[in-house]
Amino acid sequence: MATESVPVPRLDFGGWYVAFPERGSYEFLASDDLRATRAEPPGEDESGVWIGRAESGICVLMPVRLEVRRSGLRPVGLAVLHHGDEVYLAGHSVKYHEVQPTVLVGTSRQVGGRCVQCRTRLTEGAEIIRCPLCHVPYCIDCWDFLIGRKCYSRGCNYSPCEVGGM
Ligand SMILES: [Zn+2]
Ligand SMILES: [Zn+2]
C-alpha cells in the first residue's frame, strides 16, 4: 500500500518512476536520460518520448525516433495510456499507473469527506482510491465495484479497469 507521496499518473520503471506533467502539458523524456522529463523539445538526432496529459486528464505517449510498444503493439503517432499498460521503451519494460490505493493520513484533504458511492465518512487510516480524472474518493471495495462501469461523479467518464498488478 503506497503512501500519498507516490504520484499518479506515472510510468514505473521498477526502481524509479517518471511522473506525468500537469494537465494540458507535455514534457520530453530523452532515451539517454530516462529518469527525468524536461520541457525542451528533442534535438535533431535525439530520441525519446513526449509524455503528456490532456486537459481531460488522459495520459498519452508520443514516441520520437524511438521504438515504443504498448501492450505489445507499436503505437502509430500517439498512444493513449490505460492503467496497468505495459510499455516497452528504450530497452525498459515500464508499467503505467494512474490508479493508486492510498492510506489517508491526518493531513489528507479527503479526511472528513465521504466515499462517492457508499457515503461512508473517510477517516485517517482509511484506504481509498481517487478517480484519476475527477479525483473523487472511493473506498477500495466501492472502486472494485465500479470495474466495467463508470465513475459516479457527474460528467466524469472514467471507466476503471482491473486494479490487479499494482
Ligand atoms: Zn464506499
Ligand atoms: Zn471520476
Strands 10-12 and 17-19: antiparallel
The answer as to whether 2 is a domain residue is no
Ligand 2 centroid to residue 138 C-alpha, Å: 10
Whole-model pTM? 0.86
- Last-in-domain residue among 97, 125, 159: 97
Model pLDDT for residues 42-73, shown as the tens digit of each residue = 999 999 999 999 999 999 999 999 999 998 88
Number of the ligand closest to the Cα of 118? 1
Ligand 1 centroid to residue 20 C-alpha, Å: 28
Count of domains in the chain? Answer: 2
Residues 25 and 92 in one domain: yes
Residues 119 and 53 in one domain: no
CATH of the domain at 72: 2.60.200.20
Ligand 1 centroid to residue 127 C-alpha, Å: 10
| Greatest extent of the chain over all pairs of C-alpha atoms, in Å | 54
The answer as to whether 5 is a domain residue is no
CA 26 from chain center: how many Å?
Answer: 14
Q: Which residues pair with 69 in a beta bridge?
A: 88
Q: b/e for 36-64, b at 16 or more Cβ within 10 A?
A: ebeeeebeeebbbbbbbbeeebbbbbbbb
Supply the range of the domain harboring residue 93: 10-97
Residues 93 and 123 in one domain: no
Rounded to whole angstroms, the Cα distance separating 5 from 138 reads: 18
Model pLDDT for residues 122-153, shown as the tens digit of each residue = 999 999 999 999 999 999 999 999 988 999 99
The answer to whether 28 and 48 are in contact (CB under 8 A) is: yes
User: What is the grid cell recorded at 35?
Assistant: 529518469
Q: Which residues pair with 129 in a beta bridge?
A: 138
The answer as to whether 3 is a domain residue is no
Residues 47 and 122 in one domain: no
The answer as to whether 83 is a domain residue is yes
